[in-house]
């Protein structure tokens, strides 16, 4: 089964490293992180993502503009909590059929 590919965007380097580790801990998920909108743009050009998670410091309007510019329609959800507490639910909720 193909893994769910997740791009997490945020500026807190330490927290983003934790999020990346937590995403990749799940055998059904594969993650990348971008510490800036510019890096996010480059990653969006080079890979196909199922979901974008916005962590602290991310600029949602910039990310949505990039997606519009690239013609990509990917669910964008705000990530809360920094760690593992809400991650599973955020990803499941964003990707459930009624949300897409």
> What count of other Cβ atoms lies within 10 Å of the Cβ of residue 74?
18
Interface residue with other proteins, options 68, 72, 80, 100 (CB under 8 A): 80
Pick the closer one to other proteins by CB: 42 or 80: 80
b/e sequence 49-61, b meaning 16+ C-beta within 10 Å: bbbbbbbeebeee
- 2: buried, middle or exposed (CB in 10 Å: 19+, 13-18, 0-12)? exposed
Site mask, other proteins, residues 6-45, x = CB under 8 A? Answer: ----x-x-xx--x---------------------------
Q: DSSP assignment, residue 81?
A: S
Pick the closer one to other proteins by CB: 17 or 70: 17
Pick the closer one to other proteins by CB: 72 or 99: 99
> Residue 85 interacts with other proteins (CB under 8 A)?
yes
């Amino acid at each position: 089964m193909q893994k769910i590919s997740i791009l997490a965007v945020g500026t807190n380097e330490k927290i983003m490293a934790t999020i990346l580790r937590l995403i990749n801990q799940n055998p059904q998920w594969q993650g990348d992180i971008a510490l800036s909108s510019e890096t996010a743009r480059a990653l969006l050009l080079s890979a196909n993502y199922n979901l974008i998670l916005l962590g602290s410091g991310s600029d949602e309007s910039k990310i949505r503009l990039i997606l519009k510019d690239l013609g990509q329609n990917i669910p964008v959800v705000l990530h809360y909590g920094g760690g593992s507490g809400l991650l599973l639910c955020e990803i499941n909720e964003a990707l459930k059929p009624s949300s897409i």
